[in-house]
A and B are shown apart, each in its own frame.
Chain A
Amino acid sequence: MTMPRTIQVVGLSHHTAPVEVREALAFPRARLPEALASMRAVEGVEEVVILCTCNRVEVYVCARSAQGDALVKGLLTNFHGLSAAGFERHLYTREGMDAVAHLFRVAAGLDSMVLGEAQVTAQVKAAYELAAAERTVGPVFHRLFQHSLSVAKRVRTCSEIDSGRASVGSVAVQLAQRIFETLTDRTVLLIGAGQIGEVVLRSLHAAGARTTFVANRTFARADALARECGGAAVHFDQLPENLARADIVISSTDAPHYIIRRADVENALRARRGRSLFLIDIAVPRNIEPSAAELAGCYLYNVDDLQMVVEETISRRKRELSRCLATVDEETKKFMRWARGLEVAPTIVELRDSLHELKRQELSALLNKYPDLPAAARIEIERTADRLVNKILHQPIKALQEPSSEDHGRGVLAAARRLFGLEQPSSHPLPRAPRAAEKEEP
């Protein structure tokens, strides 16, 4: 009998490792085929997929051995030229059902830094497609990864886990889109080239905003950033005229006073002849006089306003988490039933063959002993023997196909093999249960 397969995932993520460790262990895109091939070349490893994103490095292995963690440690050590001592405490290992559930959670964005983010689904798909192209996936991982993508889709369709925007930059973009419909050809004015301001500017730029003016105390810095976004730097004393030209203004200077006063906004709105003006004040202390928000056509948001929207989105997504995890649990069980069918099928065949061979031998002996038996009696005896074998097999096969738990299934399989004198496996016949210490962080 061949050794049963074990699904394992070994890796690290933002839950367990700081960015420096994740960076050190990341597989460059160009070298992933090489890593897949070297892992696949290890004896006992049948299928491999490597998922490498900015938040996680995970190696999924389907092997006829439960030594996946040692194999992956070896791969990471050799591939990156690092000592295992530097990263092994950040590694986690999941096996069997836990590994499957983990992949489903990852693909659905339930394990992501930003809960519910959709990008990881595409990354899982890309990892699977690359492995398929490199021929390091077989029947188990084809089924597993395709199933993970359908789970991700089901989770998103049946819940609000991906609703709303979960970062200040994306909230700013969405608000701008709710005011202007499209950001194409909209003009953005960034006052002060601070870090968050720059993030928001880049988000707006990525969403289609084209013309950009950057005003900063350091003109060279403003000029460099403006060039990157296809715009121009302006001097601080040109702010009033640029305020009227801009549709969206981001203010993020560290000035201790208001840079844009209500009167400035009033003048700008007048010059804009009723066109709306979206002001994002992410500076602390604030740069834009708050009473400007009272002006018709002016939409003023400060950093707390944006953060409030982000927090609402996150809490809304968290409320959805238990429903999503229930879906993952249900799909994991579905997959495990399929995987178990794959695993117990050889034993069931062996069991049937063995008992039917026994029946054949005993019948042969009996019929040789009574050669004068009428044909009708012979047929009836054979039918009775068949019925007897089938009745004997019915309960063990049922127990093998429908175990009450993974552990129970493993025990039943081992017991069946022993009771019926089948060849014993030398290792775990089924995916092992997780070790308590490997449980995922909350």
Chain B
Amino acid sequence: MTPVQIALWSIAIALYAGQAAVAVFPFLRPARPAEDRLPYLALGALAFHAGFLITRALQVQGLPIETRLDSVALFLWLTAAVFVAAEGPLRLSGIAVVFWPLFALCAIGMGILSGRAPMDRPTLGKTWLLLHLIPVYIGYAGFAVATGAAVTRLIQQQLLRGKRPEALWERLPSLARLDQIGRIAVAWGFPLFTVGLAAGAIWAERNSGLLGRAWYGDAKVIAGFAGWLIYAAVVHMRLAGKMSANRAAIFTIAGFLVALATFGVAHAYPGRTPPFSAPPGISSKT
């Protein structure tokens, strides 16, 4: 990475951390309703973050997924962008107090863990990359929003059930609102995630000659599928009215942890599946 890219990335992370602080500190002032304000710091962070991705894209002449940091950066940018875009329509400001700190932690943690290690040349062609990677990442972004709502819901539920007189429960959104945010976020994220996984599976099956017939035994594929199963269960059970909102929140968080683990698994066990790695000698232009 160039010094400019390092600077852009560092500034973006610092602004995300600033946004987290801005979301948390007013909340801790007792009983003053959180004001709905534009997340200026997050918007600034998104701009610097986009600058980083654009310069990387220009450098690698394509989608910036050359290094693990590229991949993580793309995922984080889509997640933050989805949250900021949905903040108005879904009235997400109530969960900003939970979302931004978690996001900042994830961004710092994933940034450090992924380092600058280069990934092997992706085996996916441009079309398949768009069909697989982008829907999967946007799906994860939806799950991240749902997870923010789920964590907030569990906190709010604990405050309400704990009957603690401190006024924190007055400052968090209602349980019904948090359920609704989670439901909508999963309802948007799950189909996209499914499309992305299906596209990846079709490509892998078609190119089983390149990747081996047991591509589905790859650790990342299994982790990704496990996440899909959890969210499929949430969607199905909620549609059937057989899952309480509390349980749905727990499953949503579990599903997102599995999604995060998928990145970890891909890091620890590169395997052979795209976009993280490919057998030596396989061209990226398939």
Do A and B truly interact? yes
- Chain A 173-187 residues near chain B, CB threshold 8 A: 174-175, 177-182
4 nearest A-B pairs in the assembled complex, by CB-CB distance: A163-B31, A312-B165, A274-B244, A181-B174
Show 10 A/B contacts (Cβ-Cβ < 8 Å), sorted by A. A160-B29, A163-B31, A163-B170, A164-B167, A177-B174, A178-B175, A276-B176, A299-B160, A313-B31, A316-B31
Residue tally, chain B, CB below 8 Å to A: 27
B173 proximity list for chain A (CB < 8 A): 181
Report the nearest B residue to A176, measured CB to CB: B174
* Residue in B32, B172, B243, B247 whose CB lies within 8 Å of A160: B32
Interface residue? A422 (CB, 8 A)? no
CA distance A180 to B175 in the complex (A): 6
**Cβ-based interface call for B65 (8 A):** no
Check: B262 CB closer than 8 A to any chain A CB: no
A23 within 8 A of B: no
Given contacts A178-B156, A296-B246, contact A276 B175 (CB under 8 A): yes
Give Cα A155–Cα B48 distance, bound, in whole angstroms: 40
- Using CB atoms, name the residue of chain A closest to B33: A163
Report yes or no: B245 in contact with A164, Cβ–Cβ below 8 A: no
B245 touches A274 (CB 8 A): yes
Task: Determine the main DSSP class of B at the interface with A.
Answer: loop
Judged by a CB distance under 8 angstroms, whether A305 is at the interface is yes
Residue B37 is within 8 A (CB to CB) of chain A in the complex: no
Pair A316/B167 contact, Cβ less than 8 Å: yes
Q: Does A87 contact B (CB under 8 A)?
A: no
Given A301-B163, A309-B163, 19 further pairs, Cβ under 8 A: A163-B167, A164-B31, A164-B167, A178-B156, A178-B169, A178-B170, A178-B175, A179-B176, A180-B175, A181-B176, A181-B180, A274-B245, A296-B244, A297-B246, A305-B163, A308-B165, A312-B165, A313-B167, A316-B167
Query: Scoring B residues 239 to 264 as 1 if CB is less than 8 Å from chain A, else 0, what string do you get?
Result: 00111111100000000000000000
Q: Taking the nearest CB of chain A, how far is it from the CB of B212, in angstroms? A: 44
Given contacts A274-B241, A296-B246, A305-B163, contact A160 B30 (CB under 8 A): yes
- Shortest C-beta distance, B31 to chain A (Å), equals 3
Are the C-beta atoms of A312 and B176 separated by less than 8 Å? no
Interface, chain B (partner A; CB < 8 A): 29-32, 156, 160-161, 163, 165-167, 169-170, 172-177, 180, 241-247
Interface membership of chain A positions 277-319, coded 1 if the CB is closer than 8 angstroms to chain B and 0 otherwise: 0000000000000000100110101000100110111001000
Within 8 Å CB of A273, what residues of B? Answer: 241-242
| Contact indicator A274/B160 (Cβ below 8 Å) | no
Please list the residues of chain A having a beta carbon within 8 angstroms of any beta carbon in chain B: 160, 163-164, 174-175, 177-182, 273-274, 276, 293, 296-297, 299, 301, 305, 308-309, 311-313, 316
In the complex, are the beta carbons of B166 and A312 less than 8 A apart?
yes
Residues of A within 8 A of B160 (CB): 175, 178-179, 299
Complex contacts, A160 vs chain B, CB 8 Å: 29-32
Q: Is the CB of A293 within 8 A of B31?
A: no
Min C-beta distance of B249 to chain A, whole Å: 11
Of all chain B residues, which has the CB nearest A308?
Answer: B165
Assess whether B244 is in contact with A297, with CB atoms less than 8 Å apart. yes
Complex contacts, B241 vs chain A, CB 8 Å: 273-274
Alpha-carbon distance A175/B159, docked complex (angstroms): 11
Would you give the shortest CB distance from B248 to chain A, in whole angstroms? 8
Q: How far is the CB of B11 from chain A (nearest CB, A)?
A: 34
A181 to B175, CA, bound (A): 7
Tell me which of A174, A293, A296 has the highest count of chain B C-beta atoms within 10 A of its own C-beta.
A296
Most chain A CB atoms below 10 A, which of B29, B176, B180, B241: B176
Q: B residues within 8 A CB of A181?
A: 173-177, 180
